[in-house]
Amino acid sequence: MLNKKVEDICNRQVEREGYSSNLYIAMASWAEVNGYSGVAAWLYSQADEEKIHMLKFIKYINERGGKALMPALKKPPSEFKNVEEVFKEVLKHEEFVTASINEIVALTLEEKDFNTHNFLQWFVMEQVEEEASARAIIDKMRLVGKNNMYEFDRDILSLRRPATNAPAVP
Ligand SMILES: [Fe+2]
Ligand SMILES: [Fe+2]
C-alpha cells in the first residue's frame, strides 16, 4: 500500500507528465503552422511518450492501492520565437522533470518505500536520455546553422532515438 506522501507526490508527477505531453503538442502545433513538419513530427512523438509516462504513474498508483487523479492541466504557451527557442524550452522542461523525479526518489528513501523506489529507476534513466536528446538537437542546430533550417527540419527525425525499452504499461 502506498503511503499518503508517496501517493501525493506520484500524483503530482501525473500532472507533470500530462503537462509535458500538452506542452509538446502545443510546440508541435506551432511548428506545424510555421512550416516545420519535421520538428512538428518530432514533438508529436515526444508528446505521445509523455502520455505513456503519465499512464505509467497512473497505473502504478492504482496498482499499489492508491488513487490516481487526473488533474486540470495549465495552459501551455502557444507562441515561440523560433525553433531554437522551442528546443531550449524542451531542455529546460526536461531538467525540471528530472529534478521532480529525483525528489520522488529521495522521498521513497526517506519513507523506506523500496517498491516505488524500484519503479522509479526506469524514469531516472529515461531522464538521462531525455536531456541528452534535447542537448543533441540543440548542438545539431548549431552545426547546421540557423540559416539552414530546411535541412535541420528535414533531418531531425533521424535524431530521434527509438522509444526506450519501457516496461509495458500494465
Ligand atoms: Fe516524461
Ligand atoms: Fe520527457
**How do residues 105-163 score in pLDDT, each as one tens digit?**
999 999 999 999 999 999 999 999 999 999 999 999 998 877 788 889 998 988 887 76
pLDDT reported for residue 144? 87
85 C-alpha to center of ligand 2: Å?
A: 17
2 C-alpha to center of ligand 2: Å?
A: 25
How big is the chain by its Cα radius of gyration, in Å? Answer: 17
Longest dimension (CA), the chain: 55
11 C-alpha to center of ligand 2: Å?
A: 16
Sign of CA dihedral 129, 130, 134, 140: positive
36 C-alpha to center of ligand 1: Å?
A: 23
pLDDT reported for residue 31? 98
pLDDT reported for residue 168? 53
* Nearest ligand, CA 130: 2
The residue among 43, 18, 55, 49 whose CA lies nearest residue 137 is 43
- pLDDT at residue 169 tops 70: no
The residue among 77, 42, 47, 26 whose CA lies nearest residue 152 is 42
* Nearest ligand, CA 13: 1
16 C-alpha to center of ligand 1: Å?
A: 8
CB 44 within 8 A of CB 14: no
What is this structure's pTM? 0.92
126 C-alpha to center of ligand 1: Å?
A: 8
